[in-house]
């Protein structure tokens, strides 16, 4: 059922999310217009998808998308705050894209999300605070299986994670680089933007005489070491 793939206006970051889907039944949290679910069906990646949003407005727009691409019989719509109203049975993949890293963390930390620990494939695409999300995942038993930088309107990262139960706090530098492959050009550009942001933070700390400046300097050195040698101090 791939005749309509070219018609679906999917962004580069959502295409990357789609490529990380492994199972047959995905759940897209915060689906907005449901373009990603429509793509997953049309491309044959999934045989069914649950698309959720916290507001009825986006779900109404999503319903029009499903009708437009003739996939309404394979995609269910659900009004849900995060995973609260999501029926867990049969879901193989959960996608949370286009939200801040702290919001994604809060969704995963909700007690109603415990069922994700049964091996559900997580595809996470934070718009901000990716380092916060990576740190939380590691401390709560979720392992990053794969991660890639993607260029859309800005540079973003897409993560694939699964629960292993192995809780392992990351160093601050590791929280910033995750499982990105330093040999890839987009990774290096993505990390360069992080270093630029940290550099501005350092300037502000120095100007204010903050004691935190030393920690920021150390973090910048550690990230640069990873870029040069692949080592994390």
Tell me the mean pLDDT per 10 residues along the chain, length 233: 69 97 98 96 97 95 95 97 94 98 98 96 98 98 97 95 96 97 95 96 96 97 94 77
What confidence score (pLDDT) does residue 153 get?
Answer: 87
What confidence score (pLDDT) does residue 1 get?
Answer: 53
Helices vs. strands in the chain: H and E counts, helices first: 8, 7
Question: How many C-beta atoms surround the C-beta of residue 176 within 10 A?
Answer: 23
* Domains along the sequence of the chain with CATH: 5-170 (3.40.50.150), 185-229 (no CATH)
Q: How many CA atoms lie within 13 A of 204 on its CB side?
A: 6
Nearest partner of 150 among 138, 141, 159, judged by Cα? 159
What confidence score (pLDDT) does residue 231 get?
Answer: 83
What confidence score (pLDDT) does residue 88 get?
Answer: 86
What confidence score (pLDDT) does residue 6 get?
Answer: 55
What confidence score (pLDDT) does residue 84 get?
Answer: 96
What confidence score (pLDDT) does residue 197 get?
Answer: 96
Measuring CA to CA, how many Å separate 107 from each of 97, 149, 203? 12, 22, 34
What confidence score (pLDDT) does residue 3 get?
Answer: 53
Rounded Cα gap, residues 212 and 167, in angstroms: 27
């Amino acid at each position: 059922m791939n005749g309509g793939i070219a018609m679906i206006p999917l962004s580069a970051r959502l295409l990357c999310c789609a490529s990380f889907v492994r199972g047959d039944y995905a759940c897209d949290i915060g689906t907005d217009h449901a373009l990603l679910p429509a793509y997953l069906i049309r491309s044959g990646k999934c045989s069914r998808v649950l698309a959720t949003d916290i507001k009825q407005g986006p779900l109404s727009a999503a319903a029009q998308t499903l009708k437009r691409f003739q996939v309404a019989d394979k995609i269910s719509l659900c009004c849900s705050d995060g995973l609260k109203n999501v029926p867990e049975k049969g879901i193989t993949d959960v996608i949370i894209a286009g939200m801040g890293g702290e919001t994604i963390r809060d969704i995963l930390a909700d007690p109603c999300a415990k069922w994700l620990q049964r091996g559900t494939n997580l595809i996470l695409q934070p718009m901000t605070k990716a380092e916060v999300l990576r740190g939380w995942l590691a401390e709560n038993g979720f392992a990053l299986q794969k991660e890639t930088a993607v260029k859309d309107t800005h540079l973003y990262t897409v993560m694939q994670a699964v629960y292993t139960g192995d809780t392992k706090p990351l160093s601050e530098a590791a929280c910033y680089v995750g499982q990105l492959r330093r040999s890839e050009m987009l990774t290096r550009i993505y990390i360069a933007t992080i270093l630029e942001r940290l550099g501005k933070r350092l300037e502000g700390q120095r100007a204010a005489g903050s004691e935190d400046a030393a920690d920021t300097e150390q973090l910048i050195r550690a990230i640069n070491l990873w870029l040069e040698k692949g080592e994390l101090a």
